[in-house]
Amino acid sequence: MAVINSATNTTTFDLTGILSKVPAQSNYNTVHMATLALAQINKLTALKTLNLDGNQLGVDK
């Protein structure tokens, strides 16, 4: 994530399925949110497209 966060000219950020292999367990949502929190989206000022497809956020997915 440090490399990604330093790419300030990034216009497309595709996290499709990055967390799809995390097993469903009691801390499932915490692992997802903590991992995605490492991506400092607010620092990617040139960002135009953010794709989170396949990442199950929250209990209702």
Q: What is the pLDDT of residues 7-18, one digit of tens each?
A: 889 899 887 777
- Give pTM, 2 decimals: 0.58
Q: Is the pLDDT of residue 1 over 90?
A: no
Provide the token pair at 39: 């991506």
Q: What is d(CA 56, CA 58) in angstroms, rounded to the nearest whole number? A: 6
Q: What is the pLDDT of residues 31-53, one digit of tens each?
A: 777 777 777 888 888 989 988 77
| Residues forming beta bridges with residue 12, ordered by sequence position | 49
57 contacts 28 by C-beta, under 8 angstroms: no
Among the listed residues 40, 36, 52, the one whose alpha carbon sits nearest the alpha carbon of residue 5 = 40
